[in-house]
A and B are shown apart, each in its own frame.
Chain A
Amino acid sequence: MNSVVAGITYRALLGRRRIVLLLLLPVALLGLALLLRLMGSDDQRSAMLLMQNFAIGTMLPLLGLIAGTGVIAPEIDDGTIIHLMSKPISRPVIAQTKFLVAASLLAVFAAVPTYVAAWLLVGNEDAIAPGFAVGALVAGIAYAAVFLLLGVVTRHAVTIGVVYALVWEGLVGGFVPGARKFSVQQWAQSIADQISTSPFLKADVTLGFAVPALVIVTVLAVLWAGQRLRVLSLTGDE
């Protein structure tokens, strides 16, 4: 953890247009929650629909993508990462710092709005709101690590991330039950299911698989990103 690197990364993410995107998605979630409440369908079933389809299924991977790749990919694209890497800071530390920045942003922009949206709909019934908030927080951390690694490994990080989030987790996970085991979203739902006692929530993946998977994916991705950063070569864009 290096506070200067963290400061630079925060400024790069929050000072530019990226923040519009980071805000747009949580605002849409809260708007939908408010709309559902005003329509009078603030029951557990519609809360589940909003949480599973929108908060965990759409908002979280997108925010993870924007924050996770945003902390490092633009710098590699511009070549300004060379200024950072030529300083006597160990590269794994740079990767870890950037991961922490992305994870903290996801906690603020994904986990907190998830809690508020669920709370708007069902209050604290059956611990739905805290369940999904903790699920979003943990999955957000995993997404931050995975997409940070993608940003270091490839120039097409965002496209590959979109394909993973939409095609693998959305389409393949919908048809092939086995694919759900390897989906960050499903791990988030397992954790939400563990905390919440709502009868409407059923996770497909057991907690015994989800928790180790989340930890392993996060740790491995951050370590690997650090290793990749050590041997990073800057090549021209197309």
Chain B
Amino acid sequence: MSEIYDIGYRHYDGPRLGRGHTTRALTVHSLRGVFGLGRPARSKLVPFSLAAIMVLPAIVSIAIMALMRREGMSYSGFAVIMQAVLAIFLASQAPTVVAPDLRFRVLPLYLSRPVTITEYVGAKVVAMTVALYALIAVPLTLMFAGELLVDLPGPPRTKEYLGAMLTGLLLAVLLAAFGLAIASLTPRRGLGVASVIALYLLASASVPIMYSTLLSAGDEDAARWAWLINPFWLVDAVQVWVFGTTPNSEGGYPDGPVSFVIVVLLIAAAVAALALRYRKAASR
């Protein structure tokens, strides 16, 4: 008899929800973590105040449309104008998604369940993407709803709105993948915040210097390439190429699909870096 010590523990006989459910639960958990839900009020302060700042221009824009009867902020330029807020959000919240699990070495615990590294990384990237996309899409949708309600003379800018929503998604994927890849290099939250924001500032501060230098050297074509260093203008270049919007930079961007190719390559590189990083982290 093998049941000498059966002391009557009950086995789990509820429904087995399967792997899809595990991944979904992990995604929702990470997403709640990004906004500090289920954590103390201190953790909610930064994400929600940044989200509030993102909505402010939409409200101002609706007020302009309603009171002054003229077009408010352009949809295509929203992400570029608000880039500092988005960058701070990414920098401050990306480490909260990845750092605690690395720091307390709980990855082997996750992986002892039927969760693979791919699913784990995928859940984290999706959670961060959804959070960033919410920050871009909610104000855009508010503005569009406002435009429809105010009913300005002339047709609504539906195409520009949809274009901005689509490129916003591309931007969110790029930022999330890249931000998480950098933040996952260190188990410390503070250092993660500093490295993400340092890379963004390096990119954004060198653009005007490179642009004006190349322009004063008389090389206008090369100067346009300088904008592509900053991820926000890079995605704006994709928007210009696909939807034919007016560029939000002086002098425009290089023509053709090159910006889109760069975005895809960058996303692929960031996801690959994440996968490699977690393969190593899981083995400890």
Contacts and interface: CB of A to CB of B under 8 A. Distances in A.
Contact of A17 (B42, B46, B186, B217): B186
A158 interface: yes
A41 B198 contact: no
Interface string A36-47: 100111000010
B80 interface: no
Interface of A: 17-18, 21, 24-25, 28, 32, 35-36, 39-41, 46, 49-50, 53-54, 57-58, 62, 65-66, 69-70, 73-74, 77, 155-159, 162-163, 166-167, 170-171, 238
B92 A53 contact: no
Contact of B217 (A40, A53, A57): A40
Contact of B198 (A35, A62, A171): A62
Interface stretch (B106-114, B147-155, B199-207, B252-260): B199-207
B88 A166 contact: yes
B16 interface: no
A40 B190 CA distance: 39
Contact of B88 (A46, A70, A77, A162): A162
A1 B164 CA distance: 56
B201 A156 contact: no
B54 to A, nearest CB: 13
A167 B82 CA distance: 12
B190 A157 contact: yes
A154 to B, nearest CB: 9
A156 B195 CA distance: 15
B262 interface: no
Contacts of B213: 35-36, 39, 41, 46
The SS class assigned to the B binding surface is helix
Nearest to B208: A53
A98 to B, nearest CB: 15
Contacts of A62: 194, 197-198, 201
B39 interface: yes
A159 B92 CA distance: 6
Interface of B: 39-40, 42-43, 46, 84, 87-88, 91-92, 100, 185-186, 188-191, 193-195, 197-198, 201-202, 205-206, 208-210, 212-214, 216-217
A238 B39 contact: yes
Contacts of B197: 62, 162, 166
Contacts of A170: 84
A159 B191 contact: no
B191 A70 contact: yes
A28 B206 contact: yes
Nearest to B188: A74
B259 to A, nearest CB: 22
A171 B205 CA distance: 13
Contact of A238 (B40, B193, B206, B214): B40
A74 B91 CA distance: 18
B190 A167 contact: no
A32 B92 contact: no
A147 to B, nearest CB: 11
Contacts of A39: 213-214, 217
A178 to B, nearest CB: 20
A9 B257 CA distance: 49
B95 to A, nearest CB: 9
B212 A46 contact: yes
Nearest to A20: B195
